[in-house]
Chains A and B, each alone.
Chain A
């Protein structure tokens, strides 16, 4: 069975500080991994994705994520957050089935002045 765990339900960070959101997965083979962002009242937007190759993936809005097979993790990072980064962030996994994605519970990010 596959699963995605986001251990942090809520994170508060100061504007300009760095941000790291954790994502752990369980899957028997190499998964396809994604990070999405959802602004209040909006749909989901893809930040970045990992399929193979370089384990450090660059995305939009200055985000990056690192795939670590040994730790079954795919953590999202941003060096310096902006107030507009306040949103909910979801990690997702696709296994062998095309079109079938599994999402974590999400991490709510609050940015303080």
Chain B
């Protein structure tokens, strides 16, 4: 299993550009999430999904869109990039079994918006 994969690893955008961060998992996990990591702020939840076709907002959803058409894929779209969106983005997937769950993280995408 490849686990959780993210592309690209690095990206530089200009203010106002749009782009999609890709996330895929091959573990058949029900739940997928997007976080951003900024110094001193830990990981903050942007959007999450509890299954194909179902998404919900997290703590910091503004400026980002998501969709989940398949169990495997959960892309994150930046509609009009702003310097405040410079961050490291992590995708994660999780399962539930026997009343327990665990998140598995991708390697991250480092995004710089100029």
Binary flags per residue of A28-46, CB closer than 8 Å to B gives 1, else 0: 0000101010000011111
A103 touches B107 (CB 8 A): no
A90 to B105 alpha-carbon distance, docked (Å) = 13
Q: Is A101 an interface residue (CB 8 A)?
A: yes
Known contacts: A98-B96, A100-B48. The answer to whether A49 contacts B108 by CB under 8 A is no
A6 to B42 alpha-carbon distance, docked (Å) = 10
Known contacts: A43-B106, A43-B108. The answer to whether A100 contacts B45 by CB under 8 A is yes
Partner of A103, one of B30, B44, B49: B44
Binary flags per residue of A45-56, CB closer than 8 Å to B gives 1, else 0: 110010110000
Binary flags per residue of B75-114, CB closer than 8 Å to A gives 1, else 0: 0000000000000001010101001111111111000000
- B residues near A102, Cβ cutoff 8 Å: 45, 59
A99 touches B48 (CB 8 A): yes
Known contacts: A90-B43, A105-B41, A106-B42. The answer to whether A99 contacts B101 by CB under 8 A is yes
A51 touches B100 (CB 8 A): yes
A103 touches B42 (CB 8 A): yes
Binary flags per residue of B44-88, CB closer than 8 Å to A gives 1, else 0: 110011100000101100000000000000000000000000000
Known contacts: A9-B40, A99-B50, A103-B43. The answer to whether A44 contacts B32 by CB under 8 A is no
Interface, chain B (partner A; CB < 8 A):
30-33, 35, 40-45, 48-50, 56, 58-59, 90, 92, 94, 96, 99-108
Interface, chain A (partner B; CB < 8 A):
6, 9, 32, 34, 36, 42-46, 49, 51-52, 90, 92, 94, 98-106
With A46-B102, A100-B48 already in contact, 8 other A-B pairs whose C-beta atoms are closer than 8 Å: A92-B43, A92-B103, A98-B30, A99-B31, A99-B33, A99-B101, A100-B45, A103-B44
Q: List 5 A-B contacts (CB under 8 A).
A: A44-B105, A49-B102, A99-B50, A100-B56, A104-B42
